[in-house]
Homo-oligomer: A and B are copies of this chain.
Amino acid sequence: MKRTPKAKAGGAGRARGRPALTAGQVADMRAHVASRALELFRAEGYASVSIRRLASEAGCTPMTLYQYFENKFDILRMLWADVLGDLFDRLDEVGVGEPDPAVRLGALAEGYVEYWLEHREDYFLVFMSGGVSQDDVSLFMGDAALLARFDVFRSCIAEALGARARPEDVRVKSEVFVCGLNGIAQGLVTLSGYPWAGPRPLVRELTARILGR
């Protein structure tokens, strides 16, 4: 059993030696590394950027990276927040000023799919970097705060269906809608050689069917 001197009973007395890293210090360093990592991963791909290289670009030793990140994949995970944040920030702008929820839903959906088509590398970063390992994959995008941003689609569908819609219907429709969008993005991005009808027709069809038009 290792003793943790910091956690002495009472907690009033200061520890003796150098204090451990502040949560803020850790966050700053992680952000700093993630920033450099995002540039490098986007430019050269996740697999092509080595830990040793990233460390030297970030101005530290490989070993130091392992102080702040569990492993290389852990660095990648930090970037999901940035990418998804960027995506949904754009979608928020798309949706504003459109009173008709059905029209707004269509615009959001198109924006969502087209974002991934315009940022294919980011799609791979977010949706296709977990496989192979078979571990920690069920945690995919497991951050609740990130997940919550998908609610724009849900609330839009709820509004379009009106107050008379049953909540369970709204739920199922929302999940099918988001899954459908992800499936369309997956198809167009990963199977780019296939002669798809195109993003707009597919998204329009999905939106129209979900809303029952």
Contact = CB atoms under 8 A, between A and B. Distances in A.
A210 interface: yes
Contacts of A137: 124, 128, 190
A198 to B, nearest CB: 9
Interface string A174-202: 01101111111011001111101100011
When all copies of this chain in the complex are counted, the total is 2
Nearest to A190: B140
Given A142-B193, A190-B140, A133 B176 contact: no
Interface string A62-104: 0000000000000000000000000000000000000000000
A114 interface: no
A176 B206 contact: yes
Interface in A122-160: 124-125, 127-134, 137-142, 147
B138 A192 contact: yes
A13 interface: no
Contact of A129 (B46, B132, B138, B191): B132
A212 interface: yes
A165 B175 CA distance: 28
A212 B209 CA distance: 7
A173 B205 contact: yes
A179 B175 contact: no
A52 interface: no
B183 A132 contact: no
B47 A194 contact: no
Interface of A: 45-48, 121, 124-125, 127-134, 137-142, 147, 168, 171-173, 175-176, 178-184, 186-187, 190-194, 196-197, 201-202, 205-206, 209-210, 212
9 contacts: A121-B134, A124-B131, A128-B132, A129-B131, A140-B191, A179-B180, A179-B186, A180-B180, A183-B184
